[in-house]
Amino acid sequence: MSILTDLYIFLDTSWSYRIVEDYVNYIVQRMNIRPYGSSVTLLTASDASLLANQSYNIIDFFKQWNFDTHNQAAKPGFSLPTILSKAMELTDDLFENESKRNSLGLRSLIMLLMPSPLAYVNEHDFDYCQRYLDFLYRTKPDMNFIYYSGGVLVRFKSYVKDPRKDLFLLDPETDVEASSLPVLQRIKNEPRRITNPCSMHPNGSRHHQQQVKQYLPLGFLTFYKIAANNFFSPGYMRYIKIKAFSRIAFVICTSRRNSWPYRNSISTSPSTEQECLQISNNVFSYDLTDMCLNYQTTQECPPLFLSVQAQAFADSSQVMCEEEECFSPQQTQFLLITNNLDCSTYDRDQLSVYL
């Protein structure tokens, strides 16, 4: 499974560059940073000023962030209210750009916060940050905050969706790989979002059918997530389809509970939490109509999780990818098609969240 994400790192420059350099590099170098791959943006955790602008090129990233630029940063420190405000601004820009390109997103969205051991959230900011996070999770449910922090992790447990999965200790006395690999795996495990281009705009119009080609190495699988915002209100002819483009077989699995549904070749017992179907010449279709009829809010209504797995072996007559999006010639191709996705930003009760 390859990583495809938009990664935003908020780094507390109280960390010495010589200490934190290897820990950041370990993650960034394994993020599949490249054109048509992942992107990375590095900002200070104190005032959210840029250390490295959004980049799809690993060399460009390291040219922007180095010993000199790290030490010349405006000021060290950690301000969660500033980070949350900047996260809103960055994702607004991202979604606006996707809307103009009629894009479905198709990357995960990660905010990686790296506080120093002495960083903390002022108690006077607690309520404000809680309301802001609630607003972000209502309107941008695919946004994920992960802490890779020095010091005692429990001080940040109120600011993540799941403290068991989203809090990681950065201990300079610990081997770089041992410390950073769990963070990398957490990012890797986040499904790619399928987002209606207008779904983050309250007054946006629905987009009808859209289709985009996806690329997957032989034997690999990729995971997607469609948040309830995209199918919350009643609709008609609302669906997602997967159509094989390469002349091979794909296995499609779906679930409303399991974040990583996939067919396990070892187990023969059927799962009640997921459904799987193999396609080759046929088309997989999933009806998204009336998915939230029994729920009052988008947060209550569970998302749809979906995976696509390519068969393990094929010859060049079946798989030959020469498009620039392909990482290698041995990448399989399939079409991802959506129709009439929703644009719900608010809940049925239309509650406003005042910050």
| Domains in the chain, CATH or no CATH each | 5-190 (3.40.50.410), 209-349 (2.60.120)
Q: What counts of helices (H) and strands (E) characterise the chain?
A: 7, 15
pLDDT of residue 322: 84
Element (H, E) at 8: strand 5-11
pLDDT of residue 199: 47
Q: What is the DSSP letter of 194?
A: B
Rounded to 5 degrees, what are φ and ψ at 58? Answer: -65, -35
Counting Cβ atoms within 10 Å, is residue 223 exposed (0-12), middle (13-18) or buried (19+)? Answer: buried
Instruction: Please say whether the beta carbons of 278 and 249 come within 8 A.
Output: yes
Q: Sign of the C-alpha dihedral, residues 92, 93, 99, 103?
A: negative
- CA separation for the pair 330, 218 (Å, rounded): 7
Buried-exposed string 190-207: b where 16+ CB fall within 10 A, e elsewhere = bbbbbbbbbbbbeeeebb
Instruction: Please say whether the beta carbons of 36 and 325 come within 8 A.
Output: yes
Question: CA 78, 80, 85: angle at the middle one, nearest 5?
Answer: 125
Q: Could you report the per-residue pLDDT of 165-215, keeping only the tens digit for each?
A: 999 999 999 999 999 999 999 999 999 999 986 645 544 455 578 899 999
Residues 6+ apart with CB under 8 A from 63: none
Instruction: Please say whether the beta carbons of 131 and 353 come within 8 A.
Output: yes
Neighbours of 133 (CB within 10 A): 19
pLDDT of residue 206: 56
pLDDT of residue 70: 95
Q: Residue 146 is encoded by which pair of tokens?
A: 């992960």
Q: Residue 27 is encoded by which pair of tokens?
A: 């993650």
Q: Residue 215 is encoded by which pair of tokens?
A: 């690329």
pLDDT of residue 54: 94
Query: In terms of DSSP H, where are the helices of the chain?
Result: 17-28, 58-64, 67-71, 80-100, 126-139, 163-166, 176-189
Low-confidence ranges of the chain (pLDDT < 70): 1, 197-207, 265-272, 344-355
- CA separation for the pair 231, 215 (Å, rounded): 25
Please report how many Cα atoms fall inside a 13 Å half-sphere around the Cα of residue 54, on the Cβ side.
12
